[in-house]
Homo-oligomer: A and B are copies of this chain.
């Protein structure tokens, strides 16, 4: 399966299995050069002030980490859950919500995959950024646990 197909398949999986991602109109935009990008339109995700709702930002950032792990593990029997997260809201997001998860350094990712393969369980911390007009608006850090 080529890369574009994998992104579409991941988006279809999210929409089919997690109804809130349909309501948010989440799109899996891109996964290239070690960066996964999810987006969601402001119209479906604004708050009472007309900027992005914090709950939508939290959900989109969390999903970016999930999506990166699913794509990296390529194992539909892997149950990935989040065990903790922190969010810092630096400034409002005034347009499309776009969450970028940068893959961890190759050794960390390789160790995560090796542990998962050997023990059926592994843990990884991921960072996600949401920008607004070229500036960091939201910083997310999440600890994910994969189990088979």
The reply to whether the CB of A98 lies closer than 8 angstroms to some CB of chain B is no
Q: How far is the CA of A58 from the CA of B45 in the complex (A)?
A: 14
Q: How many residues of A contact B (CB 8 A)?
A: 34
A44 and chain B: residue at smallest CB distance: B19
Closest approach, in angstroms, between the C-beta of A138 and any C-beta of chain B? 10
Judge whether B88 and A87 touch: CB under 8 Å.
no
B residues in contact with A83, CB < 8 Å: 88-89
Closest approach, in angstroms, between the C-beta of A75 and any C-beta of chain B? 13
Judge whether B89 and A87 touch: CB under 8 Å.
no
Closest approach, in angstroms, between the C-beta of A30 and any C-beta of chain B? 20
B residues in contact with A92, CB < 8 Å: 81
Closest approach, in angstroms, between the C-beta of A61 and any C-beta of chain B? 9
Judge whether B24 and A20 touch: CB under 8 Å.
yes
Closest approach, in angstroms, between the C-beta of A26 and any C-beta of chain B? 10
The reply to whether the CB of A107 lies closer than 8 angstroms to some CB of chain B is no
B residues in contact with A63, CB < 8 Å: 55
B residues in contact with A23, CB < 8 Å: 19-20, 23-24
Judge whether A56 and B86 touch: CB under 8 Å.
no
Q: Which 8 A-B pairs have the closest CB atoms?
A: A55-B59, A23-B23, A17-B48, A58-B58, A84-B88, A86-B86, A85-B87, A54-B82
